[in-house]
Amino acid sequence: GDSVTQMEGPVTLSEEAFLTINCTYTATGYPSLFWYVQYPGEGLQLLLKATKADDKGSNKGFEATYRKETTSFHLEKGSVQVSDSAVYFCALSERGGSEKLVFGKGTKLTVNP
Amino acid sequence: DAGVIQSPRHEVTEMGQEVTLRCKPISGHDYLFWYRQTMMRGLELLIYFNNNVPIDDSGMPEDRFSAKMPNASFSTLKIQPSEPRDSAVYFCASSLMNTEAFFGQGTRLTVV
């Protein structure tokens, strides 16, 4: 079945450092790919998405590019802030929308001032 | 809109008791999802509805779990009888077709 593998956390960075969170996926078709973020005590929020190969999703300084050849969707940000501290989830959906979202285990990011 | 509203936020119950979790989706959304989050298994889709009809309940772990959506603005997830291994955070989410899912703040269930 479909699956998503994220790099193990936790990740601890200093403010203004560069962030990469690796995500690879296994799917039978051509899924849509997502990054969700979960702030402490809250539900998940969509951060960005990409629906086809070579698409780049971006939001709030975060970016991720849909790489079909490497089945990857790595999350990057050039300069993290303390307010970016959260848990980040990579996810896929074979159906394009939110039906049957398959999530990775999540990566906890802590940014220190 | 107030977003997806879940109640209660926290629930502590004794093993063997019935537990009911509630969800009010965003008005106008026609998909509703129930997820369970644990440290061991991460986020798992339990069941989802389209236009109040259950579409896929393959993630429901056992017959002790049941979910209903009697109308477009309300859904329940019931566990009867509850067991300690059911302790988790349960999320409800809603969406329109082919759009992002909006999550509630979750219900943290502790079964002692």
pLDDT in tens, chain B (112 residues): 679 999 999 999 999 999 999 999 999 999 999 999 998 888 999 999 999 999 999 999 889 999 999 999 999 999 999 999 999 999 999 999 878 889 999 999 999 9
H or E, element range at B65? strand B65-71
Interval A88-106: pLDDT, tens: 999 998 876 767 789 999 9
Which of B42, B55, B99 is closest, CB to CB, to A98? B99
Could you tell me which of B25, B16, B90, B102 has the C-alpha nearest to residue A45? Answer: B102
CA distance A64 to A47: 10
Which of A44, A95, A105 is closest, CB to CB, to B103? A44
- CA separation, residue A104 to residues A5, A92, B3 (Å): 5, 9, 24
* Cβ(B7)–Cβ(B106) below 8 Å: no
Q: Is A97–B45 a contact, with Cβ atoms under 8 angstroms apart?
A: no
Interval A14-53: pLDDT, tens: 999 999 999 999 998 889 999 999 998 888 999 999 999 9
Q: Which residues contact B63 (CB under 8 A, 6 or more apart)?
A: none
Question: What is residue B92's predicted lDDT score, i.e. its pLDDT?
Answer: 96
Interchain CB contact of B99 with A (< 8 Å): yes
- Interface residue ranges in chain A relative to chain B, Cβ cutoff 8 Å: 34, 41-46, 49, 89, 95-106
CA distance B71 to B92: 15
Which of B4, B56, B98 is closest, CB to CB, to A97? B98
CA distance A6 to A90: 7
Residue B1: how many other CB atoms lie within 10 Å: 9
Q: State how far residue A58 is from chain B, nearest Cα, in angstroms.
A: 15
Kindly tell me the sign of the dihedral angle through the C-alpha atoms of A59, A63, A65, A66.
Answer: negative
Q: State how far residue A68 is from chain B, nearest Cα, in angstroms.
A: 21
Question: What is residue B50's predicted lDDT score, i.e. its pLDDT?
Answer: 94
Question: Does pLDDT of A86 surpass 80?
Answer: yes
Could you tell me which of A9, A12, A19, A11 has the C-alpha nearest to residue A79? Answer: A19
Interchain CB contact of B105 with A (< 8 Å): yes
Residue A17: how many other CB atoms lie within 10 Å: 14
- CA separation, residue B84 to residues B12, B30, B76 (Å): 10, 33, 20
* Cβ(B5)–Cβ(B24) below 8 Å: yes
Which of B45, B55, B95 is closest, CB to CB, to A97? B95
Interval A48-74: pLDDT, tens: 999 999 999 999 999 999 999 999 999
Question: What is residue A101's predicted lDDT score, i.e. its pLDDT?
Answer: 87
Question: What is residue B86's predicted lDDT score, i.e. its pLDDT?
Answer: 97
Mean pLDDT of A75-96: 93
